[in-house]
Structure 1
Amino acid sequence: MRRESISPSASRRRPAQASLLLLIGAGLFLRTLQNLVNQDLGFDRRNLLLFALDPRRSDYTQDRIAVRYQQLLESIQAVPGVLSATASQSALLSGWTSNSGISTDGPQLEPSQSTNVYWNLVGPAFSHTMGIGTILGRDIEWRDVQGSRKVVVVNEAMARHFFPNENPLGHHLSFGSSPTPKEPYQIVGVVGNAKYGWMREEPPRTVYVPYTAGSGSLGRLYFEVRTAGDPTALIPAVQQIVRRIDPGLPLADVKTQAQQIEEALRQERMFACLSGFFGALALLLVSVGLYGTLAYAVTRRTKEIGVRMALGARRLAVVWMILRESLLLVLVGVAIGLPVALATTRFVASQLYGVKPNDVPTIAMAALILAAVGSAAGYLPARRASRVDPMAALRYE
C-alpha cells in the first residue's frame, strides 16, 4: 500500500505566506491606532466643546473684535453646565501650528541647540480649561488679555530647554533672532507639556501668548468650552449666545475635542481597516484552499485510511494524521514567509507609532492566528476521514 501525502509545494505555500504578511501588517496598524488613541495627550480630551468664529468677515475693527470675544466668553461661562471657557488661535490637534525662533535673557545656548518654539495665541484660563496642569506661576488671565500685556506662559519642554538650571519665572523672551528686542515678553507661568498640532509628534516647546498681545491682527479664534456633562447638549445655548451678541457672526467647525481627535486619526483608522479587511480576506482564501486540498487528499486516501482503521488505528490518530498535513503546510509557509514579511514591513515603519516593524508579539499573534485557521480548515476533512467505514473503504476504488 503506497501512502499519499500532501507536499508543501510552492503553490500551496504562497497563500500562507501572503496571509502572514497581511496579518502582520494588520496587527502593526491596529497596534499603531491603539497606541495613538490611548496615549497621554497632556490635556483632558473629555467634555470639551470646540467652535470657531471669524469676525473679520463682518468688517469688525480690531478693538471691536476683542470686545466681542470678551462678551462671548463671559456669556458662555454663565451658562449652567459650563465649567470654564477659553479661546485659542489654533485648536489643539487641528494640524494648524505657528512657530518662530526666539531669544531670551537666559543662559546662552550652544550653537547646535535650536532656538525654535511653537506658539499659540490663547485666552484667559487656557491651561485650566484644557486640563493642562500649571507647574509654576499662573495661567493667562483676563487682565493680560484686556491690557494686551506682554506676558507669556511656557510649557515645561520650553523651560527645560532655555532655562535648564534656573527658574524661568520673571525671565523675558522675544520672538525673532534680534539680541536686543524692543518688546520682550515676561514669563509668568510654566505648564505641563501637551500635544499641539499632531498626535504623532512629541509635545513641542510651546509658548502661550494672550490673543490680544500678538504681533499680528486679531482674527479667527477657536473657542474651547469645558462642560460638566455631554458638551453637545450645550450647542444650542452657544448658538443662541452668538446670535444674541451678533447675528452676523458666522459659527464654524462646531465639534467636540473627541471628534477633533477622531478626525486627526482618520488616516490611521483607514489603514487599520483596510489592512484588517485584506488580512481577513487572505485568511478566508487560505482556509478555503486548505479545506479543498485536504478534502481531495482524504478522498484519494480513503482506502489507506480504511486499512489503518481495520488494523486498529484510533479515530483520534486519523484526525491527527490529517491535521498534521494542514499544519505542515501552514508552518512551512510561515517559515518561508517570515523573512519576506520582516523585509517588507520595514517600508511601512514611517506609518507606525509606538511599535516597531519587527514587533515580536504582533508577529507571534499573526503566526498563531494562521495556525489556528489552518487547524480549523483541516478539521472537517479530518473528521470525515475518522468516520470512514473500514469495510467500505477497502472496497473503494
Structure 2
Amino acid sequence: MLLALMGGVASLAVARGTLALMASLLPSEVLRTLRFELDPALVGFAAVLSIGTGFLFGMFPALHATRSDLVTSIRANAGQITGHRSAARFRATLVVAQIALSMALLTSAGLFLKSLLNVSRVDLGLHAENVVTFGISPGLSGYDSTRSAGLFERVEDQLAALPGATAVTAASVPLIAGDNWGTSVRVQGFVAGPDTDTGSRYNEVGPGFFGAVGMKLLAGREFTRADSRDAPRVAVVNEAFAKKFNLGRDAVGKFMSTNGRDTLNTQIVGLVQNAKYSEVKQEVPPVVFTPWRQDARIGSINFYVRTSLPPSQMLGAIPMVLKRLDAGLPVEGLKTLPQQIKESVFLDRMISILSASFAALATLLAAVGLYGVLAYSVAQRTREIGVRLALGADARRVRRMVMRQVAGMAVVGGLLGVGGALALGRSAGSLLFGLNGRDPAVFTLAGLLLGLVAMGAGYVPARRAARVEPMQALRYE
C-alpha cells in the first residue's frame, strides 16, 4: 500500500509535467481556448485506481505467505525456491507483457518521429526566415470595404518605413495556416467536360508578394500598385494550375475567369513556382493569385514584413504602428512566419513528443521490472548457483544462464510487441507522412534499443550471480 501511495504521488508530478509539455506544444490561439490543469475528480479516480491496484497485487503474495507450512518453512534452507513455479511464471509473464508494451510504444514513437522528420524536410517553396506576419480585420470593427482598403494602404506604407523592413506585402489567405479559399475557373484553350474538376485554390495578394515571401517567379511579372480596382484584371498562377489546365510554360498572356464566370476577363501575367498553400503535408494544389486591390469586398488581410534586423525587433515595432493608425483595432496572430509554419504541424509534433515520452517511460518500467524479477530469481537460486560453482561451473557460464533468461523474455516480449506495433501503425497510418506503419528501419531500431535496455537491466543480476561464493551459498540459511 505504501508503494502504491508513493507511486500515486509520483504520478501527479508526471501528470503535471505532461500537461505542461502539451501546453508548450500548442499554438497560442488553441491554448487560449483550453484549460490545462488537473481535475480533482480525475485525481481522485487515479488515487483510487493506484491504491486499488497496489492492494490487488499485494493481496495474493500476502495470502500465499500466510498459507505457508510453518514446519516446512523452518526446515527449509533460505537458498531453496520456496515459491510455486506458477508464481515465477506469473512474474515472468508480467515482465514479458511490459516488454511487449514497450516494443509497441517504441515502434510507434519511432514512426511518428520519422514522420515528423519527413515533415521538417519538406520543401515549402518559399523562404520563411526573417519574415514577420500578422492579420487585421477592420471589417469586424465597423469599417466598410472602402475604409478597409484605405487602412490597408496606410498600414503598408507605415510598415515599409520601419527600420530594417526590406519588403512589405499582404495576402487575404494566410500562408500555411490551414485556411483554404476556392473558386471555379475557366481558362482560355481548356475545354472542360461535364464532370471535369475546374476548381482552384485562390488568394488575393499585394504588390511584390512573391519576392517578399520567397516564391520564385518563373515567367511574367509581379503585381504592382497599378493593379488597382480600375485597372484591367490580372492574375498569377502556379505550376500546378498551369499543369491542370494544360497551360505549360505558355500560361502568361492567356485569359481566364474566376467564380465560374463565362467571360474570360482576367489576364494571366505571371507564372510562379509551386509553394505550399494551406498545409505542410498537403500536395501543392492549383492556385490562382489576384491583386487584393481589385477586390471590392475585402475586409481582412494578413501582412508579411521581411526584415534585415532580428525579427524580435519587428515584432515589437508593428503593434506601435497599428496603435498610431487605430488604437482600437486588434492585431491578430503576430508572429514570425517560421513560427506559424511550426504551429501548423503542432499535432505532428505533439504526437511525436508525447509518444516518445510514453515509450521512454514504458521502457524504463520494463527495465525496472526485468531487473526486479532477475534479482529476485538470483536471490532464490543462490544455493543452486553455489552448487553449480562448487561442481566446476565458471562465472561466465553462470552469467550466460541468467542472460539466457533475459534473452528469452526479451525475444518473446519483443515479438508480441511487434504484433501490437503493426496494429498501431496500421491504425495511425493517416497521421504518418512519407512512410507507412511497417517501416523496417523503425522496427529494427526499436528492437535493437529494447534489446540493449533488456541486456543492461539483466547485467547487474547476472554479474551478482557470477560473484556468488560457493561455500557461503551452501551455508546460507
TM-score (norm 1): 0.91
**Aligned AA (2:170):** A
Q: Does 1:132 align with 2:215?
A: yes
Counterpart residue number, 2:277: 196
Mapped to 1, the partners of 2:249 and 2:316 lie a distance apart of 48
The Cα of 1:166 is off from its aligned counterpart by: 5.4
Mapped to 2, the partners of 1:248 and 1:277 lie a distance apart of 44
Higher helix share: 2
Out of 427, 451, 454, the residue aligned to residue 374 of structure 1 is 454
Mapped to 1, the partners of 2:229 and 2:154 lie a distance apart of 12
The Cα of 1:111 is off from its aligned counterpart by: 5.5
- Output one character per residue of 1:50-69: Cα deviation in whole Å (capped at 9) or x when no partner: 11112224443433322322
Mapped to 1, the partners of 2:376 and 2:142 lie a distance apart of 79
Residue 250 of structure 2: SS of its match in structure 1?
Answer: coil
Out of 111, 117, 121, the residue aligned to residue 38 of structure 1 is 121
Name whichever of 7-16 and 99-108 sits farther off: 7-16
Q: Does 1:155 align with 2:238?
A: yes
**Aligned AA (1:96):** D
Out of 441, 447, 454, the residue aligned to residue 361 of structure 1 is 441
Q: Map 1:319-358 to 2 at 5 A.
A: 319-358=399-438
Q: Does 1:252 align with 2:311?
A: no
Counterpart residue number, 2:149: 66
- Output one character per residue of 1:73-118: Cα deviation in whole Å (capped at 9) or x when no partner: 1221222211101001111111111001211112324666421100
Mapped to 2, the partners of 1:145 and 1:360 lie a distance apart of 56
Residue 299 of structure 2: SS of its match in structure 1?
Answer: coil
Q: Does 1:209 align with 2:271?
A: no
Sequence identity (%): 37
Counterpart residue number, 2:136: 53
**Aligned AA (2:406):** S
**Aligned AA (2:291):** P
The higher relative CO (CA closer than 8 Å, separation ≥ 6) is in 1
Out of 81, 86, 91, the residue aligned to residue 174 of structure 2 is 91
Mapped to 2, the partners of 1:382 and 1:145 lie a distance apart of 81
Counterpart residue number, 1:307: 387
The Cα of 1:243 is off from its aligned counterpart by: 2.7
Paired residue total: 393
Residue 203 of structure 1: SS of its match in structure 2?
Answer: coil
Out of 451, 458, 465, the residue aligned to residue 385 of structure 1 is 465
**Aligned AA (2:462):** A
Rate the CA distance shift 1:172–1:164 in 2: closer, same or farther, 3 A: closer
Rate the CA distance shift 1:16–1:112 in 2: closer, same or farther, 3 A: farther
Q: Which runs of 5+ in 2 are unaligned?
A: 1-79
Rate the CA distance shift 1:246–1:149 in 2: closer, same or farther, 3 A: farther
How well do the aligned residues superpose, as a CA RMSD in angstroms? Answer: 2.4
Mapped to 1, the partners of 2:231 and 2:93 lie a distance apart of 74
Q: Which runs of 5+ in 1 are unaligned?
A: none
Mapped to 2, the partners of 1:139 and 1:304 lie a distance apart of 85
Counterpart residue number, 1:394: 474
Residue 185 of structure 2: SS of its match in structure 1?
Answer: strand
Maintained 8 Å contact 2:102/2:417: no
Q: Does 1:282 align with 2:365?
A: no
TM-score (norm 2): 0.77
Mapped to 2, the partners of 1:281 and 1:357 lie a distance apart of 22
**Aligned AA (1:273):** I
**Aligned AA (1:334):** G
Maintained 8 Å contact 1:109/1:162: no
